[in-house]
Chains A and B, each alone.
Chain A
Amino acid sequence: MIQFERFQLDNGLKVIVHKDLSTPMAVMDILYDVGARDEDPAKTGFAHLFEHLMFGGSVNIPDYDEPLQVAGGENNAYTTNDLTNYYCQLPAENLETAFWLESDRMLGLAFSEKSLDVQRKVVSEEFKEHYLNKPYGNAWHIIREMAYTRHPYRWMTIGKELRHIEEAQLKDVKDFFFKHYTPANAIMVVSGNVEMDEVIRLSEKWFGDIESGRPYTRNIVQEPEQKEARRQIVKANVPLDAFYKCWHMAGRMDQRYYTADLITDILGGSTSSRLFQSLVKEKKLFSNIECHHFGSTDTGLLAIEGKLVKGVRPETAEAAVEKVLDDLRNVKVNDKELQKVKNKTESMMAFEDMSLMNRANSLAYYELLGDAAMMNTELERYNSVTTENILSESRRIFDDKNSNTLYYLAQ
């Protein structure tokens, strides 16, 4: 059970305080309700590029990192399709330094040409390192474009193409900031060796006078239901044939999300999972195979991907995957197998909650979804999933009309 308290400033900033006196450290986590799904299709990759610019100096402080390091702290940030999260950890005695730094960059950025110029290059190198210069690096670009026809999940957080990043202008940066980086659009979690009164005082002091800004109304076109199977074949300079297939699944707030999450654990994620046992160990068709999903807020994707053993035809591999899915569609899993994946989930959540930083991240995330208290009811939601739920959800997800298949073949 994670204990926390919360309050809200007049400008709309939500603050959550999680006290843990067993540590000498404090964590400040600020989550902005903006991700790649909020981008203009002609300017993709922007939420993530912007995350880099948040370290390029703010209106009163030329450098974010240095003063934090002087205070014995460290920090990082990440951007997903749904959100952008900034977090730092430092000795609790120096907590005010985090308030000073974070409030100043919520107040305003330095908007320097030099910083934009350098970060455009840095992000371009990141794009190359992860998506261009690696075998199969562009597979998910292709699949997202196939699976999403309307929804902005069509592109990855790094962006649709390098050009969008290379062409980013300072004006775009400013517009983006004033649109999304407002107190009303943010959630702050302060955790660790901290006292509620002190957090209230410091929040008022440093964040209290920041203009609340114009509220941002999200207006995203939801993906229409997929009516027929989509397929694509790509040939590239890779050593092995690879198989990818994905299906639309329920969004994060739907109870069916929990069922889908457990289905991915039944299928993949461990050497006792069905796909691995059947296709790697028994039939020897794949050299590795995984099943995962993206945890997306809106309707997401559940995916199976693997590399084929040399000489195996992709059609044969696909038929074998479908055979494993047939079992799920036709026969109820037994109680023991369902209990196994529930136990695994319980344990994984407990291990994650060991870290103060993870607890702060999770509180901010659940607050974004609607209520930080959901962090304490997650396990119940998993435990309420029945073998019937698994059966009906498998039928619903693994419907051929709902599928997107990519053969990524060696030239």
Chain B
Amino acid sequence: MMTNKTASLNRKLAPRIKDAIEFDLRLKPYDKFILDNGIEVYAVHAGPEELMQVEWVFYAGNWYEQHNGIATATNHLIKNGTHQKSAFEISEQIDFYGAYLNRNCYNETANITLHTLTKHLSEVLPIVSEIITDSIYPASELDIYKQNMKQRLEVNLKKCDFVANRLIDEYLFGINHPYGKYSSTKTYDELQREALEDFHRHYYLNGKCVIFVAGVLPKDLQQQLNHHFGSLPLNRSALPETEHPVSSAEEKKYRIINDPNGVQGAVRMARPFINRNHPDFPASQVLNAIFGGFFGSRLMNNIREEKGYTYGIHSYFQNYIHGSSWMISTEAGKDVCEETVKEVYHEMNVLRDVPVPEEELLLVKNYLIGTILGDLDGPFHIIGRWKNIILNGLTEEYFYTSVDTIKRVDAKTLQGLANKYLDPGSFYELVVV
């Protein structure tokens, strides 16, 4: 008798699955300790490789600067020289141990991030301590920075997406607000090294700092961190209470010609939005996913997969500590930009008028939970989630509420949110060609 084990295989029938919404998601807890000077350290010990990541978060973002560009420049040049070491020597020592020392400046916070093999941690920590306490901002380094940043800006200003990103934030928050302002040649020309030194003294050396550590951690981590950072004059004074009033633009619709010969336009549509601690926020994440938040979203299906107007279209929340916006972003063929804008509004209206079908809702829930499950994999992802929670003044509860909301939210709630927030009239729209 001939047997053919595949004869009965029905390829049209999907294998049985476990719905991702039935998965029990757990956020691995952190260990917390406090250094002698009050620095809070959050640590997640996990991982297959003998590696680690240490992040020093300072409240030293654009929010705290007096003049545009100071916070970014101070952060960028923090590793470009101390009394003992030149920029080259700092970089060479870090490189010698195969480590990576990066720094980033955001709106509220600015960080220094170290990635290193665990075995080399004790060799590289003193260098981080040195740049926090003794960065000297040499004039020659600042001059090179100014020149190169101006040149880079000139190239970027030729790109419609870069120009569009700046302008849409200006419409949302105002040109004088930390979230809305941007740099110009003049910004760079006006940078003074004394201002950088001053900012460094206030917001790094005497600033407010939190440390996040993840990976395979050495047993004496606490001692090592305490030794290098526990006696610095950090966290002694309260941060200044700084208010920045939002001043949104009156006019909602903009068309800008940046390059008359361009073949594509950058489309941005955005509205001010609620923060993570607002009760509507968790369910809005589901609505955003359906709208434009992943590859199977409605915007992607309509504008890329149906019409072929673009390589990609996305919607997302720009979340900052003091404010937020809901953004739609794409680069589309020059002659179909207006049609793209129209279709985005159309998709908003469909979400407002028609409840999301059950099948689609279940798909999106499964997808989101599956993504979180995958994203909880590995120590760097886990600490990233915790950092988000801690810096936004939230608790563990937030994670579980979010997961629970994704699992439970119904079509009616989503339609309510769409009517509340996806109102075409409250969106700014911009096309830069």
A joins B in a complex: yes
Binding site for B on A (CB under 8 A): 20, 22-25, 59-61, 65-67, 69-74, 89-91, 93-94, 96-97, 99-100, 103-104, 107, 117-126, 128-129, 132-135, 204-206, 208-209, 237-240, 270-272, 277, 280-281, 284, 287-288, 307, 309-310, 336, 339-340, 343-348, 350-351, 353-356
User: Does B333 touch A at the CB level, under 8 Å?
Assistant: yes
Cα A120 to Cα B90 with chains together (Å): 49
User: Does B251 touch A at the CB level, under 8 Å?
Assistant: no
**Chain B min CB distance to A333 (Å):** 13
Give the nearest-CB partner of B4 in chain A: A209
Query: Could you show 5 A-B contacts with beta carbons less than 8 Å apart?
Result: A59-B11, A70-B367, A72-B370, A124-B308, A128-B263
In the complex, chain B residues 226-251 whose Cβ is within 8 Å of any chain A Cβ: none
Of B9, B333, B378, which is within 8 A of A205 by CB? B9
Cα A288 to Cα B148 with chains together (Å): 8
- Beta-carbon contact of A69 and B367 below 8 Å: yes
Say whether, besides A281-B88, A354-B380, A238 and B263 are in contact (CB < 8 Å): no
- Beta-carbon contact of A208 and B6 below 8 Å: yes
Say whether, besides A272-B91, A354-B48, A74 and B263 are in contact (CB < 8 Å): no
Q: A239-B157, A240-B154 are in contact. List 6 more A-B contacts (CB 8 A).
A: A70-B366, A74-B294, A121-B307, A125-B333, A132-B263, A340-B96
Stretch at the interface among B16-24, B128-136, B276-284: B16-24
In the complex, chain B residues 76-99 whose Cβ is within 8 Å of any chain A Cβ: 87-88, 91-92, 94-99
Chain A residue contacts of B15, Cβ below 8 A = 94, 96-97, 99-100
Chain B residue contacts of A20, Cβ below 8 A = 48
- Beta-carbon contact of B92 and A272 below 8 Å: yes
Chain A residue contacts of B367, Cβ below 8 A = 69-70, 72-74
Give the nearest-CB partner of A114 in chain B: B306
Of B96, B296, B308, which is within 8 A of A343 by CB? B96
- Beta-carbon contact of B20 and A91 below 8 Å: yes
Cα A107 to Cα B6 with chains together (Å): 14
Cα A307 to Cα B380 with chains together (Å): 34
Chain A residue contacts of B377, Cβ below 8 A = 23-25, 356
**Chain A min CB distance to B209 (Å):** 24
Chain A residue contacts of B157, Cβ below 8 A = 239
Contact string, B363-374, partner A, CB cutoff 8 A, digits 1/0? 110110111011
Give the nearest-CB partner of A265 in chain B: B95
- Beta-carbon contact of A125 and B264 below 8 Å: yes
- Beta-carbon contact of B11 and A287 below 8 Å: no
- Beta-carbon contact of B363 and A347 below 8 Å: no
**Chain A min CB distance to B385 (Å):** 15
Of B14, B155, B311, B369, which is within 8 A of A122 by CB? B311
Cα A339 to Cα B97 with chains together (Å): 9
- Beta-carbon contact of A70 and B95 below 8 Å: no
- Beta-carbon contact of A287 and B148 below 8 Å: yes
Say whether, besides A74-B374, A133-B262, A272-B91, A310 and B6 are in contact (CB < 8 Å): no
**Chain A min CB distance to B5 (Å):** 7
User: Does B309 touch A at the CB level, under 8 Å?
Assistant: yes
- Beta-carbon contact of B14 and A129 below 8 Å: no
- Beta-carbon contact of B363 and A271 below 8 Å: no
- Beta-carbon contact of B117 and A347 below 8 Å: yes
Cα A17 to Cα B374 with chains together (Å): 19
**Chain B min CB distance to A123 (Å):** 8
**Chain B min CB distance to A200 (Å):** 13
Chain B residue contacts of A96, Cβ below 8 A = 15-17
Give the nearest-CB partner of A340 in chain B: B96
- Beta-carbon contact of B117 and A69 below 8 Å: no
Main secondary structure of the interface of A (DSSP, over half): helix
Of B152, B305, B370, which is within 8 A of A73 by CB? B370
Chain A residue contacts of B100, Cβ below 8 A = 347
- Beta-carbon contact of B11 and A107 below 8 Å: yes
B interface residue count range (under 10 / 10 to 19 / 20 to 34 / 35 or more): 35 or more
Cα A69 to Cα B155 with chains together (Å): 39
Say whether, besides A281-B87, A287-B148, A72 and B49 are in contact (CB < 8 Å): no
User: Does B115 touch A at the CB level, under 8 Å?
Assistant: yes
**Chain B min CB distance to A280 (Å):** 7
- Beta-carbon contact of A310 and B96 below 8 Å: no
Say whether, besides A122-B308, A271-B88, A61 and B158 are in contact (CB < 8 Å): no
Chain B residue contacts of A126, Cβ below 8 A = 311
- Beta-carbon contact of B264 and A209 below 8 Å: no
Give the nearest-CB partner of B100 in chain A: A347
Chain B residue contacts of A354, Cβ below 8 A = 47-49, 51, 378, 380
- Beta-carbon contact of B151 and A97 below 8 Å: no
Say whether, besides A281-B88, A353-B49, A237 and B308 are in contact (CB < 8 Å): no
Give the nearest-CB partner of A65 in chain B: B296
User: Does B331 touch A at the CB level, under 8 Å?
Assistant: yes
Give the nearest-CB partner of A23 in chain B: B377
User: Does B387 touch A at the CB level, under 8 Å?
Assistant: no
Cα A95 to Cα B23 with chains together (Å): 15
Contact string, B303-342, partner A, CB cutoff 8 A, digits 1/0? 0111111110000000000000000000111000000000
Give the nearest-CB partner of B11 in chain A: A60
User: Does B27 touch A at the CB level, under 8 Å?
Assistant: no
Chain B residue contacts of A287, Cβ below 8 A = 147-148, 151-152
User: Does B159 touch A at the CB level, under 8 Å?
Assistant: yes
Chain A residue contacts of B331, Cβ below 8 A = 125, 129, 133
**Chain B min CB distance to A89 (Å):** 6
For the complex of A and B, list the 10 residue pairs with the smallest distance between their C-beta atoms, beginning with the closest.
A72-B370, A121-B308, A72-B20, A347-B98, A343-B98, A96-B15, A272-B91, A60-B11, A272-B92, A126-B311
Chain B residue contacts of A23, Cβ below 8 A = 377
User: Does B109 touch A at the CB level, under 8 Å?
Assistant: no
- Beta-carbon contact of B50 and A350 below 8 Å: yes
Chain B residue contacts of A74, Cβ below 8 A = 294-295, 367, 370-371, 374
User: Does B116 touch A at the CB level, under 8 Å?
Assistant: yes
Contact string, B118-145, partner A, CB cutoff 8 A, digits 1/0? 0000000000000000000000000010
Chain B residue contacts of A355, Cβ below 8 A = 378
Cα A208 to Cα B7 with chains together (Å): 11
**Chain A min CB distance to B375 (Å):** 10
Give the nearest-CB partner of B6 in chain A: A209
Contact string, B12-45, partner A, CB cutoff 8 A, digits 1/0? 1011111110010000000000000000000000
Cα A103 to Cα B15 with chains together (Å): 13
**Chain A min CB distance to B192 (Å):** 20
Contact string, B146-168, partner A, CB cutoff 8 A, digits 1/0? 01100110110111100000000
User: Does B66 touch A at the CB level, under 8 Å?
Assistant: no
Chain B residue contacts of A270, Cβ below 8 A = 91, 95
Say whether, besides A100-B11, A350-B117, A356-B377, A118 and B366 are in contact (CB < 8 Å): no
- Beta-carbon contact of A284 and B144 below 8 Å: yes
User: Does B362 touch A at the CB level, under 8 Å?
Assistant: yes
